[in-house]
Amino acid sequence: AQRVTQPEKLLSVFKGAPVELKCNYSYSGSPELFWYVQYSRQRLQLLLRHISRESIKGFTADLNKGETSFHLKKPFAQEEDSAMYYCALSGPQGAQKLVFGQGTRLTINP
Amino acid sequence: EPEVTQTPSHQVTQMGQEVILRCVPISNHLYFYWYRQILGQKVEFLVSFYNNEISEKSEIFDDQFSVERPDGSNFTLKIRSTKLEDSAMYFCASTRTSGSDEQFFGPGTRLTVL
């Protein structure tokens, strides 16, 4: 079964502190993993994907196949990072459905 | 920058009525999707559409649902006889290629069934 688990519904950290949003997945095969973000009153948008191995807005995420995890990290949180974050997976073929986690609402306190 | 658009932003209907949710994907995109999010729950896949036919659908997408691309721009989701449990945010998305590409989401239509 394809499943994405984000164990924290809410996460609150202070500005300048490190942030880690957890994501674990279940998939028989090699999925593509993504983090999508939804800022207040904006649409869902892609933050980063594991195949790109890039850092976007200071965020990184490493795919750990042994632990089936794809945690999102940022060393120094900024207030503008406050948003809803969704971890998602799709099949390896591309252009396939996204399976989303529950989402984590991240709040950065000043 | 091109965006996926959806209309209406909010639709209120009576139980048993038919609704059509409209989406205009990004113009050079070839793959189209509908997702929904019931309040407080996760975003769930409904259906994907390519080359004028459904390529995959979920268990949620039963006989009361249908999708159509009636012209070169619109992509619609029809719910034939709405139920209270159809109340949700419905998102349209599109992607350009069959490669591992980004799905671009619309702003959503909030459907309220009374």
Contacts of A101 in chain B (CB under 8 A): 42
B31 near A CB under 8 A: yes
Q: Which two tokens stand for residue A104?
A: 């984590």
Q: Tell me whether residues A49 and B100 touch, CB distance under 8 A.
A: yes
Q: Tell me whether residues B105 and A32 touch, CB distance under 8 A.
A: no
Half-sphere exposure of A108 (CA within 13 A, CB side): 21
Confidence of residue A30 (pLDDT cuts 50, 70, 90): confident
Out of A51, A96, A103, closest to residue B42 by CB: A103
Using alpha carbons, list the distances in angstroms from residue B29 to A40, B106, B114: 26, 13, 35
CA-CA distance, B18 to A10, in Å (whole number)?
36
Average pLDDT, chain B: 94
Contacts of A102 in chain B (CB under 8 A): 41-42
DSSP three-state, residue B33: strand
Mean pLDDT over A47-76 rounds to 91
* Lowest-confidence segment of A48-62, A66-80, B75-89 by average pLDDT: A48-62
Contacts of A98 in chain B (CB under 8 A): 33, 35, 43, 45, 93, 103
- Identify the pLDDT of residue B78: 98
Mean pLDDT over A35-55 rounds to 90
Q: Tell me whether residues A98 and B58 touch, CB distance under 8 A.
A: no
